[in-house]
Amino acid sequence: LEANLESHFNMPYPKYELLLCVEDDQDPAINLVNKLKKRYPTTECRLFIGGKDGILNPMVHNMAPGYEAAKYDIIWVSTSRIKASVDILLDMVGKIRSPQVALVHQMPYTTDQKGVAAAVEKVYFGTSVARYYLAFHTLGISCFTGMSYLVKKPELDALNGLGWFGRFLAEDFFIAKFLHQKGFRH
């Protein structure tokens, strides 16, 4: 977690804010975030503790306050398992600048972790899912996994914002579906 979060704090990206969201004030990540905020005082970072009531999806519940406080029109949703890369982020931002695109996702990538579940996940995302994504996008079918994606906030807000999608456990599927139905590519 520290390596992943630190990769977000020390990105040599021109202008961004980190909006880090945790479920409650007992989350052990809070101490780590505070440590990184001291280590990188020039990185604009806000920590949101506690979610937004009435949201079923646990991840969206946690992220809703940060999303609502975001000051930029492009939001990068990145789970704690994602390591930041300026090259990948610049590529994603370059693609989302198109008026026809409202969402850009990163192919899920996993590193070596211990355990059978981690090995199965790595094989699954590295083989099957990658092929499905390429085929689906070629056919114009909306499909993505919400581990790391950019979304145009004004377009998502026009669909009632991120919190509204918290009624679904698969919020990523429905965000993509609704944006696709509005005529956007991703």
Residues 6+ apart with CB under 8 A from 16: 44, 72, 76
Q: Which two tokens stand for residue 113?
A: 């972790």
> Which amino acid is residue 40, in one-letter code?
Y
Question: Known catalytic residue: 27?
Answer: no
Out of 24, 27, 91, 172, pick the active-site residue: 172
Query: Which residues carry out catalysis?
Result: 172
